Chain A
Amino acid sequence: MAEVLVLVDHVEGEVKKSTFELLTAARSLGEPSAVVVGAPGTAQKLSAALAANGAEKIYVAETDRTDFLTPQVDVLAALVGSASPTAVLVSASADGKEIAGRLAVRTGSAWLNDVIGVAGGDGVSATHSVFGGAFIAEAKSNTEHPVITLRPGAVDVEATAGAGTEQQVEVPAASGRGATVQSTEPIVGGDRPELTEASVVVSGGRGVGSADDFAVVEGLADALGAAVGASRAAVDSGYYPHQFQVGQTGKTVSPQLYIALGISGAIQHRAGMQTSKTIIAVNKDAEAPIFEIADFGVVGDLFQVAPQLKEEVAKRKG
């Protein structure tokens, strides 16, 4: 069976969950080969987890290069040449999209971006969810080795062990035409689940009224074990940090349960959350558009309703 290259996304010696999703998706197209690009000593920490999640082969491409994202592109381009993979799978993060786009340009491959599923058979095809889930489109690759970015959270991980045979890969020298990394500070996640991975999300909008009052949103979220989100108006008003913005220019979330507090439900906000399984809305304005897509809506003051709901949830947890 032909190989499928999977670019490993890792941070501080750990494989990100989105990589396990890639390995699961890769299995429907061929034999998953994980590609580790990083500083010397990186692969050693990752290989057990990669093998446990289905990597048959692990390409180890370790380098001291500090040019930004270019080593990944260079390594994958060389492997596309030597391994003739069925496809290359990369996570649809900001970095992943960029690596994948540049790779597709270099290898003359189809670029299937931000897909929610892949299928093999007669050529490779992929499913896209467009305009915040308002449309579902199928696309097929017209080239060999299409480069595909998979939306994090779209595929459920099914761990099946692979052989995990390591193979060293030579990393070419830097061309000198890359950007150099001066410093990096990863975002420190708190104790709450990651927004795009959470099964419950509680979001606050302009109706929350202040940064201090976001404690009401956080309180309910913590009772439910949920992630916290925010509308752009809430972010722009400085109530909550930018990385928690849900919507067209923020994150796309699709949890089991989405609770919108003091959010009007503008089309751009809906674009980031309307595929949630169940939607609950609390808003003072009975005409707010969020009610058009809410499974259950309460017309009322969020400062009355949310704390009461929190109490009810706490009671049930005992």
Chain B
Amino acid sequence: MNIVVLVKQVPDTYSERKLDASDGRLDRDATDAVLDEINERAVEAALQIKEANGGSEVTVVTMGPDRATEAIRKALSMGADKAVHLTDGALAGSDAVSTAKALAKVIGTVDGFDLVLAGNEASDGRGGATPAMVADLLGVPALTHAREITVDGSSVTVRRETDDGVTVLTAELPAVVSVGEKINEPRYPSFKGIMAAKKKPVTTLSLADAGIDAGEVGSAGALSSVTSAQPKPPKSAGEKVIDEGDGGQKIAAFLVSQKLI
């Protein structure tokens, strides 16, 4: 099986994240960048499917600035076989629709893909629709928010879990599957894996290489624009008391003073 995994580098959620006040874009220099945790789970799912299906290959695809190579290396050191990195100055400021278009083009360069795996929702934008958008563009089914994936010959079955309930979905391959937070625990890269990753092939594509029109992506192709971005003043600490056997009563008194009970 030919498996493609879409991965994204995101600001580390442990550091404080900022929007640039001038253009409302994510200030990527203000924070450390990491492979999104949900994408580690997507890579893990891909590796498990590969291990169960001899002769499979896992290709990591990312669109992002130069330093996204760090995220690629992490995925390769976990065990993915090769990577394609779409990077081009003109991609800066791409919105979700143009990101999906670009990713669909890049996936098209991977010969005869059977399965595209992705995270259900990135931790930076929380868009939560890229995988479905990519599927629509590729003309293949989208099976999203997977808690469980079963690949059986030419079809895939997914147990989809969301706030609204559980849905079991099936489709013929090729298909796009996005994974949820509860699907698995991603493996740690071994020392051997880290060393091997250094020799694995990474293809870097510019927009021209991928056959993407520069007018369709980046700020030039943006279908919406941010007109202002303001930090909200953080909540400040209120009163803090040490419980001396009356902590519950003190909270109750506070709630009464605020007319909350």
Interface residues of A (CB under 8 A from B): 11, 68-69, 73, 93-95, 97-98, 100-102, 104-106, 108-114, 125, 130-131, 133-143, 146, 177-187, 200, 224, 242-243, 248-249, 251, 256-257, 267-268, 271, 274, 278-280, 282, 286, 291-301, 304-313, 316
CB atoms of A139 and B224 under 8 A apart: yes
Judge whether B242 and A299 touch: CB under 8 Å: yes
Query: A73 near B235 (CB under 8 angstroms)?
Result: no
* Known contacts A111-B97, A297-B239, then 11 further A-B pairs from the complex at CB < 8 Å, ordered by chain A residue: A93-B163, A101-B97, A110-B95, A113-B96, A177-B141, A249-B181, A280-B251, A297-B238, A298-B251, A299-B243, A311-B248
Cβ of B169 within 8 Å of any chain A Cβ, yes or no, is: yes
How far is it, in angstroms, between the C-alpha of A187 and the C-alpha of B128 when the chains are bound?
20
- Can you name 28 A-B residue pairings with CB atoms under 8 Å? A69-B132, A93-B162, A94-B120, A95-B164, A98-B129, A101-B96, A101-B129, A102-B142, A105-B101, A110-B224, A114-B126, A130-B19, A136-B230, A137-B230, A138-B227, A178-B171, A179-B158, A179-B170, A267-B14, A268-B14, A274-B235, A278-B258, A278-B260, A294-B237, A295-B258, A298-B240, A304-B248, A307-B248
0/1 string, B116-143, CB within 8 A of A gives 1? 0000110101111110110111011111
CB of B171 within 8 A of CB of A180, answer yes
Interface residues of B (CB under 8 A from A): 13-14, 16-19, 24, 38, 95-97, 100-101, 120-121, 123, 125-130, 132-133, 135-137, 139-145, 157-158, 161-171, 175, 181-182, 222-232, 234-243, 245-252, 254-256, 258, 260-261
A140, B97: Cβ atoms closer than 8 Å: no
Closest to B238 in A: A295
The reply to whether B167 and A183 form a contact with Cβ atoms under 8 Å apart is yes
Given A73-B136, A291-B240, A304-B248: A139 in contact with B225 (beta carbons within 8 A): yes
Task: Determine the chain A residues whose CB is within 8 A of the CB of B163 once the complex forms.
Answer: 93-94, 187, 243, 251
Q: How far is the CB of B69 from chain A (nearest CB, A)?
A: 25
A296 engages B169 (CB within 8 Å): no
Chain B residues lying within 8 Å of A93, measured Cβ to Cβ, are 162-164
Within the complex, which residue of B223, B238, B242, B246 is in contact with A141, where a contact is CB–CB below 8 Å? B223
Which A-B residue pairs are the 5 nearest by beta carbons? Answer: A300-B243, A308-B248, A101-B129, A312-B252, A309-B248
Taking the nearest CB of chain A, how far is it from the CB of B36, in angstroms?
11
Q: Would you call A299 and B252 a contact (CB within 8 A)?
A: no
For residue B156, which residue of chain A has the nearest CB? A179
Given A181-B168, A316-B256: A139 in contact with B24 (beta carbons within 8 A): yes
**Given A102-B129, A224-B261, A299-B242, A305:B167 Cβ within 8 A:** no
Nearest CB in chain B to that of A176: its residue: B172
B248 with A306: CB separation less than 8 A: yes
Residue of A nearest to B175 (CB): A179
Q: Decide: B261 and A256 in contact? CB cutoff 8 A.
A: no
In the bound assembly, the distance between CA atoms of A185 and B162 in angstroms comes to: 11
* B145 proximity list for chain A (CB < 8 A): 94
Min C-beta distance of B170 to chain A, whole Å: 5
The main secondary structure of chain A at its interface with chain B is mixed
> Considering the chains assembled together, what is the distance between the CA atoms of A112 and B127 in angstroms?
10
Inter-subunit contact B223/A296 (CB<8 Å): no
Measured CB to CB, the closest approach of chain B to A238, in angstroms, equals 12
Are A298 and B243 neighbours in the complex by a CB distance under 8 Å? yes
Using CB atoms, name the residue of chain B closest to A184: B167
Residues of B within 8 A of A104 (CB): 96-97, 133, 223
Nearest chain A CB to B152 CB, angstrom units = 13
Contact B137 A293 (CB under 8 A): no
Establish whether residues B165 and A293, one from each chain, have CB atoms under 8 Å apart when the complex forms.
Answer: no
Report the separation of the CA atoms of residues A146 and B95 in the bound assembly, to the nearest whole angstrom: 13
If A137-B229, A138-B227 touch, whether A312 touches B248 (CB-CB below 8 Å) is yes
What chain A residues lie within 8 Å of B232 (beta carbons)?
133-136
B47 shortest CB reach to chain A, Å: 22
Is A135 a contact partner of B19 (Cβ separation < 8 A)?
yes
User: Is B255 a contact partner of A293 (Cβ separation < 8 A)?
Assistant: no
Would you give the shortest CB distance from A280 to chain B, in whole angstroms?
A: 6
Q: Which residues of A contact B261 (CB under 8 A)?
A: 224, 313, 316
Q: In the complex, what residues of B have CB within 8 A of residue A291's CB? A: 237, 240
The complex places the Cα of A278 from the Cα of B163 at a distance, in Å, of 25
Distance (whole angstroms) from the CB of B63 to the closest CB of chain A? 16
| Cα distance A294–B240 in the bound complex, in angstroms | 8
Chain A residues with CB under 8 Å of B230's CB are 135-137
Residues of chain A within 8 A of B95, CB atoms compared? 110-111
Q: Chain A residues near B222 (CB, 8 Å)?
A: 142
CA distance A114 to B123 in the complex (A): 14
Given contacts A178-B171, A186-B165, A298-B241, contact A310 B248 (CB under 8 A): yes
Determine how close the nearest CB of chain A comes to the CB of B14; give it in whole angstroms: 6
A19 CB to closest chain B CB, in angstroms?
A: 14
A169 to B90, CA, bound (A): 42
Q: How far is the CB of B223 from chain A (nearest CB, A)?
A: 4
The distance in angstroms between the C-alpha atoms of A286 and B229, with both chains bound, is 34
> Could you say which residues of chain A place their CB within 8 Å of the CB of B246?
308
Given the complex, which residues of B lie within 8 Å of A141, measured CB to CB? 223-224
